[in-house]
């Protein structure tokens, strides 16, 4: 039950946030919305308080806020400047910066963890994306990455959606 505690508080803040064209996983019910929230819950189980974490394609910023509130030094990054400006106004925690996942404006070996949910399928050069993830991670760092299953997105008629490539579990 996520109704209480810090996690519940951040979830409620996302629900109450006004405006924004980013996907808000709490704006409706259903499998895909639940998946968005569950990914960050999974990330929190894998990371440690005090870890420096990069949240690539942070969208509405709720994931960056969660990571920060649970003790990580979190940086939310998105390619869209408007999203970054909105997140800076919306959240009083976490740092939001503009950046391209295929050319990160970060030093090498800077992060204990990188969270990249539903990003790689939008990249033009997936090898460059993966190279950047490796470059910014400290030795022994953790990459948490997800992408839609092509069989599922085709089944529900959501295949494409700005994706340059979609993956099967085997292909990913």
pTM exceeding 0.85: no
Share of the chain above pLDDT 90, in %: 40
pLDDT value, residue 135: 98
Q: Is the pLDDT of residue 1 over 50?
A: no
Is 55 in contact with 64 (CB distance < 8 Å)?
yes
Q: Is the pLDDT of residue 2 over 50?
A: no
Burial class (CB in 10 A: 0-12, 13-18, 19+), 99: buried
pLDDT value, residue 74: 95
Q: Is the pLDDT of residue 63 over 70?
A: yes
Instruction: Please tell me which residue, 172 or 76, carries the higher pLDDT value.
Output: 76
**CA-to-CA distance for 118 and 164, rounded, in angstroms?**
12
Backbone angles phi, psi at 171, to 5 degrees: -75, -25
Question: Which whole number is the average pLDDT over 71-84?
Answer: 94
- Rounded to the nearest integer, the mean pLDDT of the chain is 78
Any bridge partners for residue 56, and if so which? 77, 116
Is 77 in contact with 99 (CB distance < 8 Å)?
yes
Q: Is the pLDDT of residue 23 over 80?
A: no
Instruction: Please tell me which residue, 129 or 93, carries the higher pLDDT value.
Output: 129
């Amino acid at each position: 039950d996520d109704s209480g505690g810090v996690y519940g508080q951040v979830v409620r803040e996302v629900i109450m946030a006004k405006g924004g064209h980013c996907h808000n996983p709490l704006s409706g019910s259903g499998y895909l919305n639940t998946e968005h929230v569950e990914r960050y819950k999974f990330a929190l189980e894998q990371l440690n308080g005090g870890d420096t974490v990069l949240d690539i394609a942070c969208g509405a910023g709720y994931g960056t806020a969660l990571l920060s509130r649970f003790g990580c030094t979190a940086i939310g990054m998105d390619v869209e400047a408007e999203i970054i400006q909105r997140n800076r106004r919306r959240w009083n925690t976490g740092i939001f910066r503009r950046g391209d996942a295929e050319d990160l404006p970060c030093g090498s070996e800077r992060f204990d963890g990188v969270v990249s949910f539903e990003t790689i399928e939008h990249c033009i050069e997936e090898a460059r994306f993966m190279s950047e993830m490796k470059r910014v991670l400290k030795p022994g760092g953790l990459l948490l990455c997800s992408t839609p299953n092509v069989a599922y997105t085709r089944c529900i008629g959501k295949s494409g959606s700005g994706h340059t490539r979609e993956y099967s579990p085997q292909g990913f």
